[in-house]
Amino acid sequence: MDEKTMVNDVLASVKASLTAYQTAIAEAENIQLRQTFQQIRNGDESFQYELFKIAENKGYYTPAAQATVTEIQNVKNELE
């Protein structure tokens, strides 16, 4: 397995973990458990961003094109 594949695999795994943590946070009744999940999630978000920047700099990952002002406004209108 080459480095690009490994980096993209880790990025996908971290994204899935972030979704799972968010669900656990929303459902946690115990405040200490909730805060623990939030701390882990925050660490994973930082790790994901650092790895993303490395992948982007190496050309392993190309983010989607930035949305236009019109596209952003359309989404806002749909959510209101």
**37 contact partners, CB below 8 Å, separation of at least 6:** 21, 24, 25, 28
- Name the DSSP letter for residue 56: H
pLDDT for res 10: 94
pLDDT for res 64: 84
Q: State how far the Cα of 62 lies from the Cα of 56, in Å rounded to an integer.
A: 6
Query: 48, 50, 59, 37: which is closest to 13 by C-alpha?
Result: 48
pLDDT for res 62: 79
Mean pLDDT of 2-27: 94
pLDDT for res 61: 78
| Residue bearing tokens 């949305």 | 67
Domain ranges of the chain: 3-79
